[in-house]
Amino acid sequence: MALYQQQELKIYNSISGEKEVFIPINEGNVGMYVCGPTVYSNVHLGNCRTFISFDLVFRYLKHLGYKVRFVRNITDAGHLENDADSGEDRIAKKARLEQIEPMEVVQKYTVDFHNILQKFNNLPPSIEPTATGHIVEQIEIIKEILEKGYAYEANGSVYFDVLKFNETHEYGRLSGRKLEDMIPNTRELTAQSDKKNPQDFALWKKAEPQHIMRWPSPWSDGFPGWHLECTVMSSKYLGEEFDIHGGGMDLKFPHHECEIAQGEAATGKNPVHYWMHANMLTLNGKKMAKSTGNNILPNEIFTGENPNLEKGFAPTVARFFMLQAHYRSILDFSNDALMASEKGFNRLMEAYHLLDELETSETSSFDVSAWKQKCYDAMNDDFNSPILIAQLFEAVKQINIIKEEQGKITATDLEEMKNTMSVFLYDVLGLVDTTNGADGSEGKKLSGTVELLIKLRAEARANKDFATSDKIRDELLELGIQLKDGKEGTTFSLN
């Protein structure tokens, strides 16, 4: 019997506003689509939180024994600056500013995206399609929607007719918005607009003469609408109906709402059975924004090169910090919170290593089987990683009690505890043991070596031998060890 048949998983479905028992369309198989990045800049931390949240979902579904096809797209065209179908293409704008080809922008930031997620130990998706690789399919689905009367062509652009769709369907049911309430709050159309109604959205946009990224279509040389690409790629690789669609909370409206409308208009079917949305990340209690300086990039966490941080933190510590909050909760990022997470992470790893040192007995003072099921219960309750982590710390407490000979454990229970901790720490939470060795000896040796070099560097600086000082710093950096000088002395982090 597969593990998923023994564990009842419930998922909070954004469209119903309730936790629902997860029943995939095809038993034993899960189709999951997650909106990927628009690759015109370095991936920011809020995006990383979303992708780490869905990596947790992917990992747990795989652990339960499901065969998962996980599709996460790359948006490399069609995402305009304004959700109201106006402004420049974000990638084309970056290309113009940097005076390079748009696909150079795409390549640069796609590589950055992959590198950062690899550092966070995210598993790669099963398929990672691009918008530009599916122009033909996007044109075909526009033809279908036009044929069914839910879109119209105007001056070379094609728009989805939201009012027409709403006559027989319910536009706004995911976000809880009623179309009649949206209309009074919508700005009047400008004389230049080709839309019939302000709520309509572009399926295809005619390219202006200065627009770099363009493709031929039956209507004009232009480019597809941003919402359309996800409908096309999800349906191509997962079918007209699939199990899970995920993304950030900010995508619920209009992006995901438009996806539902397009899917239903094209096929007459409900495209997604379970909608999942990850919440936002704040910094020091405020919204992250580059303009205010209240912002941090993932690499700045790893190096500590940010005024909000005292030092650098290992990627796995940052991952652990994010998983200590439920994916649907707002999470505030701060130096103090990271410091606390680092201490907690080290306690977990130290306790896991202690398991090999425990003496076994004829009886156990701790009910390991019941504890194990509590770990599963936490994840079965809408992937509740903070409750799972609390259960892992309960194991830490029991390990220390047994170590101090205040409790007992049988050999069988010890093996079960070790296997369970390994599964949830590494396979499900996706943490990486940075201590490098069962007893942490390799990590201690590394720390001791770097501390010695820090001491030699300090002596060189005191002797005004800045050439040697800089050489130590630079050569350590080449090895992936970042030094940071602060008021309390010099600290280091592994990149």
Is 211 annotated to bind a ligand? Reply is no
Shortest CA distance to 413 belongs to which of 368, 373, 356?
368
User: How many Å from the N-terminal Cα to the C-terminal Cα in the chain?
Assistant: 42
Residue 18 and residue 285 in contact, taking contact as beta carbons nearer than 8 Å? no
Using DSSP's 3-state secondary structure scheme, residue 479 falls into coil
Is 48 annotated to bind a ligand? Reply is no
In whole angstroms, what is the distance from residue 298 CA to residue 145 CA?
41
Strands 151-154 and 157-160: antiparallel
Tokens linked to 338 = 């990271």
Is 67 annotated to bind a ligand? Reply is no
- CB environment 6-30: b (16+ within 10 A), e (fewer): ebebebbbbbeeeeeebebeeeeeb
As a three-state string, the secondary structure of 55-96 is HHHHHHHHHCCCEEEEEECEECCCCEEECCCEEEEHHHHHHH
Helix 466-478 and helix 441-462, axial crossing angle in degrees, nearest 10: 150
Residue 383 and residue 57 in contact, taking contact as beta carbons nearer than 8 Å? yes
Q: Which residues pair with 224 in a beta bridge?
A: 204
Is 255 annotated to bind a ligand? Reply is yes
* 82: CB partners within 8 A, 6+ apart: none
Is 230 annotated to bind a ligand? Reply is yes
Length of the chain: 495
Tokens linked to 367 = 């009910």
* Residues in binding site for ATP: 290
Q: Which residues are annotated as a binding site for Zn(2+)?
A: 35, 230, 255, 259
Would you list which residues are annotated within the binding site?
35, 230, 255, 259, 290
